Structure 1
Amino acid sequence: MFDARIRPLIDPILNAQGARLAARGVRPDQVTLAGLGFGLLAALLIALGAMGWALAAIVLSRLADGLDGAVARAGQPSDFGGFLDIVCDFAFYGAVPLAFVVVDPANGLAAAFLLFSFYVNGATFLAYAVLAEKREMKTDALGVKTLYFTGGLLEGAETIGLFVLFCLLPGWFVPAAFVFGALCLVTAVSRVLLAARVF
């Protein structure tokens, strides 16, 4: 919901930094993997109960996730880079709820529901992207991407906000996960309805 509004504000900064990194020989895939590394470190820190350090690692992870595309745009974007970015994002999104189960097994049901909603939403997102590519549909509303991105009630910015909330208020994990998961399913249903109209 907020991604399209945030992109015009952060893209110029990311693009400038991405150009500097590309000029120094940094490759987009290296930045993507660094982002995954920080994301998995965040999950490990959550599992150990170190929420403050986990929050810092989440910020670094998502900064790298924004920079990899900027580095690619400054150099030579590749289809594999877009593929790797999506895979790493999904790995990060799955690792954080899992870590909250490790730190407190009482979070298990809420985490399972959240992961279920991520799974369903991710399926609609990727299936829509495949069919959009087949029909040669293009958009840059959410920035220049390898895949066709559709908006939704919940997107990347909201998910990052959720993970920040989890780290700041871990006692609120259960209700926040259930509410966010329900809204994630609303996003998935809305994308199914959009696909029914478009395809």
Structure 2
Amino acid sequence: MLDAKLRPWIDGPLNRAGRMLADHGIHAQEVTLFGLFMGLIAAGMLAAGLPGVLALVPLLIGRLADGLDGAVARATEKTDFGGLLDILCDFIFYAAIPLAFALRDPGNALAAAFLLAAFYINGASFLGFAIMAEKRGIETQAQGEKSLYYSAGLLEGTETILFFVLLCLWPGAFVPLAVIFGLLCLFTTGARMMLARRLFG
């Protein structure tokens, strides 16, 4: 919901930083993998029971890298493999954080399982929609220039990052926050499928 609204503010700085990294010989896929590495460091810190505020540092660095990899690719060369690697690393990161909270406290396990299931269902609708849009030649750049069709929804990348920040700031509130966010993911899936029925039905 917020991604498209933030694009006019962040695209310029990201593209300038991406060109700078490309000029120093840094490749987009290296930035993608670095972002995943930092995200997994954050997940490991959370799983180990360290203060969530400390995990915010690698988490936010990783998400910054996730925004920069596309800018580096635009400054050099975009590849289909790079786009696939980017979305795969995103999904690994999204799975790692709920898993980390389940490992941090077994009392979080049921809520973490529900959140992971909601992520899985939402991700399936997102990727399925992208495949059908590609098949019909439907394109959008509302969320920026992407390797695949990004269907808008109530919850997008920005909202997920904010949710993870809240979890780091208030790890003791994981269960209610995870349930609320999981329900919103399912609502997003339903809305996306209603749109898909109108477009593809």
**Scaled by the length of structure 2, what TM-score is found?**
0.98
Alpha-carbon displacement from aligned partner over 1:109-137 (angstroms, at most 9, x marks no partner)? 11111101100000000000011111111
Alpha-carbon displacement from aligned partner over 1:141-169 (angstroms, at most 9, x marks no partner)? 10000000110000111111111000100
Quick one: distance in 1 between partners of 2:82 and 2:24? 18
The answer for the alignment partner of 1:15 in structure 2 is 15
Quick one: distance in 2 between partners of 1:33 and 1:149? 21
Quick one: distance in 2 between partners of 1:170 and 1:26? 35
The answer for the alignment partner of 1:26 in structure 2 is 26
Quick one: distance in 2 between partners of 1:193 and 1:169? 34
- Residue 16 of structure 1 aligns to which amino acid in structure 2? R
Equivalent residues in 2 for 1:51-66, closer than 5 Å: 51-66=52-67
- Residue 106 of structure 1 aligns to which amino acid in structure 2? G
- Residue 37 of structure 2 aligns to which amino acid in structure 1? G
The answer for the alignment partner of 2:170 in structure 1 is 169
Segments of 5+ residues of structure 2 without an aligned counterpart are: none
Q: C-alpha displacement at 1:180, in angstroms?
A: 0.5
Quick one: distance in 2 between partners of 1:184 and 1:8? 25
The answer for the alignment partner of 1:120 in structure 2 is 121
The answer for the alignment partner of 1:40 in structure 2 is 40
Q: C-alpha displacement at 1:138, in angstroms?
A: 1.0
The answer for the alignment partner of 2:194 in structure 1 is 193
Task: Report the secondary structure of 1:66's partner residue.
Answer: helix
Identical counterparts, % of pairs: 57
- Residue 77 of structure 1 aligns to which amino acid in structure 2? K
Alpha-carbon displacement from aligned partner over 1:79-135 (angstroms, at most 9, x marks no partner)? 101000000000000000000011101001111111011000000000000111111
Task: Report the secondary structure of 1:148's partner residue.
Answer: coil
Quick one: distance in 1 between partners of 2:170 and 2:53? 11
Question: For the aligned residues, what is the CA RMSD?
Answer: 0.6
Equivalent residues in 2 for 1:36-185, closer than 5 Å: 36-50=36-50, 51-185=52-186
Task: Report the secondary structure of 1:144's partner residue.
Answer: coil
Q: C-alpha displacement at 1:52, in angstroms?
A: 2.2
Q: C-alpha displacement at 1:8, in angstroms?
A: 1.0
Displaced runs of 4+ in structure 1, greater than 3 A? none
Q: C-alpha displacement at 1:58, in angstroms?
A: 0.6
